Amino acid sequence: MQDRIVITGMGTVNPLGLSVMETWGNLIAGNSGVGPITSFDSSALQVHIAAEVKGFMPENFMDAKEARRRDRFEQFAIAAAKEALLQSGLVITEKNAGKIGVIISSAIGGLQSLQDAILTNHTEGPRRVSPFLIPMLMPNGGAGMAAIEFGIKGPCFSVASACASGSDGIGTALMMLRTGMIEAALAGASEATITSTGVAAFDRVGAMSRRNENYAMTPQPFDKNRDGLVMGEGAAVLVLERESDAKARGANILAELAGYGATADAFHVTAPHEHGAGGAAAMLMALSSAKGNLEELGYINAHGTGTLLNDQAETRAMKAAFGELAYKLPMSSTKSMTGHMMGATGALEAIFCVQVIREGILPPTIHYETPDPECDLDYIPNKAREVKVSFAISNAFGFGGHNAVLALRKYS
């Protein structure tokens, strides 16, 4: 019988906290991480708000000299991985280092480092560009730095599939564990795109909320008056292991990573397919991979960005996948509190699903005021709900038509 793949550790830094428990407390309380941008002067832009990580001191998680040679997204990755490893109790030795993988993804990589280097090259000349630029900007930097930090020598890489990157990376680790290629993995994602270039670029696509004065009420996923996403940042990492290995070392198993589904819309580079066909197919694929059935599904962490098209398409995908049952399935957009952490979003939301299964509390979709006839499902508006859940899925849909869905199950 094939080993189940289980989760033994989780770690995160994000706009709601610098640990899983701090984050979870703020999440179920319905607290928002959105506020005015403090990391740079946004006065020349049309967007002045974001969901920034607050109070993060990289030297608390790594050597101060090394921290200066790492982009912010890499610092986040190390911090989240350290918390996950500590909780898991997994000790990395010369004997097992080659059988542990590191799949820490990023959609964009070191955007701040790249932006700074371009400006330096233009104003001061190429000889002033940092010799550490390439390792600071490459999207696989989080994975590579984590492997160096912890001495892990197995497969090490980053998946880049826009906002599905984190979920695709975790799904890839699941498949590698199932085939026996590795025995354990650090899997997740990290992103730090709150820069003047990042905010301007996403705003020019038409994806961003411009509710600068009334930021306490944005983003508004699934609400009729939603006006776009709010950019977030941070990292989330899971420790994944084969059940037999985790039990043999007496690990505390948090949940089972039961299934993974991935599809492409093959429709448009930024817009989702209007009928949500790709998202529906990915959800059903994840259920099939998990050998699950619709009757046991108790919660869906929605992609729920707060943009007009995404929320409509995801609602239609739910109906296409689940039929009338879609109206009975509770789902919420935690991006209403964390903002959209781009490539890292799916990894964090997988952690939320684990917490839902363990704690029996469904996080809300905050800022929900005015129902949209096109979005007419149960979005758990404004207040957390106590419900016992044994099986949940997490949706992540990205630019380029990438759809990735993870299925998580209560471990027993």
Residue 302: inside a domain = yes
pLDDT at 115 over 80: yes
- φ, ψ at 48 (rounded to 5°): -120, 15
Residue 373 CA from chain centroid, whole number: 28
Tell whether 228 and 272 lie within a shared domain: no
- pLDDT on residue 400: 87
Q: Are 221 and 381 in contact (CB under 8 A)?
A: no
Tell me the residue type at 253. I
Instruction: Return the bridge partners of 10, or none.
Output: 238
- pLDDT on residue 1: 63
The confidence band for 135, taking pLDDT boundaries of 50, 70 and 90, is very high
Residue 159 CA from chain centroid, whole number: 13
Tell whether 168 and 111 lie within a shared domain: yes
Region class of 339: left (phi > 0), else alpha (psi between -120 and 50), else beta: left
- pLDDT on residue 269: 78
DSSP string covering 257-279: EEEEEEEE--S-SSSPPTT-HHH
Rounded mean pLDDT, 286-297: 94
Tell whether 147 and 278 lie within a shared domain: no
Q: Are 28 and 363 in contact (CB under 8 A)?
A: yes
Tell whether 137 and 170 lie within a shared domain: yes
pLDDT at 201 over 80: yes
DSSP string covering 96-130: TGGGEEEEEE-SS--HHHHHHHHHHHHHH-GGGS-
Q: Looking at 38-42, 255-259, 273-277, 290-294, which range is the least confident one?
A: 273-277
Q: State both tokens at 158.
A: 């980053």
- pLDDT on residue 274: 77
Rounded mean pLDDT, 42-56: 97
Positions annotated as catalytic residues are 163, 303, 340
Q: State both tokens at 253.
A: 């198993």
For every residue of 145-177, which 3-state class applies, written as one string? HHHHHHCCCCCEECCCECECHHHHHHHHHHHHH
Place of tokens 């997204």: 73
Tell whether 21 and 161 lie within a shared domain: yes
Tell whether 163 and 310 lie within a shared domain: no
Q: For 161, what's the count of Cα atoms within 13 Å in the CB-facing half-sphere? A: 25
3-state secondary structure of 333: coil
Q: What is the CATH number of the domain that holds 298?
A: 3.40.47.10
Residue 360: inside a domain = yes
Residue 253: inside a domain = no
Q: How many CB atoms lie within 10 A of CB 301?
A: 29
Q: How far is CA 14 from CA 65, 133, 194, 347, 384, in A?
A: 23, 24, 13, 11, 20
Tell whether 207 and 341 lie within a shared domain: no
Start-end of H helices in 323-384: 335-338, 345-359
Residue 254: inside a domain = no
Q: Are 104 and 160 in contact (CB under 8 A)?
A: no
Tell whether 132 and 182 lie within a shared domain: yes
Measured between alpha carbons, how far is 103 from 238 in angstroms, rounded to an integer?
A: 10
Of 248, 274, 299, the last residue of a domain is 248
Measured distance between the N- and C-terminal CA atoms of the chain, rounded to whole angstroms: 16
Omega of the bond prior to 155 within 30 degrees of 0, cis?
A: no
Of 248, 273, 297, the last residue of a domain is 248
Tell whether 95 and 168 lie within a shared domain: yes
Q: Are 314 and 305 in contact (CB under 8 A)?
A: no
Measured between alpha carbons, how far is 144 from 123 in angstroms, rounded to an integer?
A: 31
- φ, ψ at 191 (rounded to 5°): -150, 145
Q: Are 353 and 392 in contact (CB under 8 A)?
A: yes
The confidence band for 211, taking pLDDT boundaries of 50, 70 and 90, is very high
Rounded mean pLDDT, 311-321: 97
Tally of domains within the chain: 2
Sheet order of strands, 156-157 included:
156-157, 100-105, 184-191, 234-242, 5-13, 255-264, 402-409, 391-398, 299-301, 331-332
The confidence band for 265, taking pLDDT boundaries of 50, 70 and 90, is confident
3-state secondary structure of 67: helix
Measured between alpha carbons, how far is 296 from 276 in angstroms, rounded to an integer?
A: 23
Length of the chain counted residue by residue: 412
pLDDT at 30 over 80: yes
The confidence band for 62, taking pLDDT boundaries of 50, 70 and 90, is very high
Instruction: Return the bridge partners of 11, or none.
Output: 237
Residue 372: inside a domain = yes
Using one digit for the tens of pLDDT, what is the confidence trace for 342-392?
A: 999 999 999 999 999 999 999 999 999 999 999 999 999 999 999 999 999
Query: Of the candidates 16, 194, 15, 228, which has an alpha carbon nearest to the alpha carbon of residue 108?
Result: 194
In which domain, by residue range, is 153 found? Answer: 5-248
- pLDDT on residue 268: 86
